[in-house]
Amino acid sequence: MKVALSLALTLLASSFALAQTNPDVSLAPGTTLPISFTHGIDAGHARAGAVVEAKTMQQVRLSNDHVLPSGTRVIGHVVTANAFSFDKTPYAKQSASTLAIQFDSLVSSGETIPLHVYVRAMADPLSVWDAQRPKATDLDPLSTTTQIGGDQVTPSQSEVESQQGETVGYKRSSGVYAHLVSAVGRGSDGCDATDTEQSMGLFSASACGLYGYTDASLLSTGKSGDSTLTLASRRRSAQVWAKSEALLEVIGQSRTISQ
């Protein structure tokens, strides 16, 4: 019995020592995470507590020269899911269906980083598809693509330009990077500017709010500090389509917890 207890204490001490030697990796405020939802979430079928999964779509630079690889898992859960129910009463104002999703953590190489983020922008799969397709014409034979929000990316040049022709970011081998631009989008919260270069994925530097979700509204983005996205719809059950993409922005310091 004493031998077993001694062995358990030794293993616990070793685990603690290993955890102490892990590098202190953190997500600084203003860090962005361009993500893609790996499956759809429908308020008509989802239940509170259900796991929500997404993955990063571009490298993200962390503290101490660390790099978060593309494809890193982002984990969240459904907070509330209220299905749509049509009220047949004449002149009735339809009650909105709501879907609330909280972003909890990011998992990479055995490390879990708790997330304190808000949804800066989110786009449906059609908007995502459109942002990846060049619109080459006789006026533009350079296969230029348009980021979600309007910025222009041309394969033959490193500069990313706004719709006004200003350089707002740069295309590198690992993706598109930019200083965030303040904006007001389709949502309850505006988006702030940053003076640090951030990973953008398919989003523009000024992207803010919902894109393509024409029958939904954005009740909350998580900017109040709860990391919770809330969508509402008065036409159908609120949902996040599979392969929708979002740009999360860190609003507080997040440090790793060793697994």
Question: Could you tell me the mean pLDDT of each successive run of 10 residues in the chain, 259 residues long?
Answer: 43 37 67 97 96 97 83 97 87 88 92 93 97 77 91 94 93 94 80 93 96 93 94 94 97 56
The confidence score (pLDDT) of residue 140 equals: 67
Residue 11 lies in a domain: no
Q: Are strands 159-161 and 167-172 parallel, antiparallel or unpaired?
A: antiparallel
Please say whether the beta carbons of 115 and 258 come within 8 A: no
The confidence score (pLDDT) of residue 188 equals: 64
The confidence score (pLDDT) of residue 2 equals: 44
Residue 194 lies in a domain: yes
The confidence score (pLDDT) of residue 52 equals: 98
Measured CA distances, 90 to 97, 171, 189, 237 (Å):
19, 54, 34, 21
DSSP letters spanning 139-169:
S-TT--EE-BTS-EE-TT-SEEE-TTS-EEE
Residue 217 lies in a domain: yes
DSSP letters spanning 49-68:
T-EEEEEESS-EE-GGG-EE
Residue 7 lies in a domain: no
Residue 117 lies in a domain: yes
Residue 5 lies in a domain: no
Count of domains observed in the chain: 1
Residue 20 lies in a domain: no
Determine phi and psi for 45, rounding to 5 degrees.
Answer: -130, -25
Total-model pTM: 0.85
Residue 75 lies in a domain: yes
Q: Which domain holds residue 184?
A: 25-258
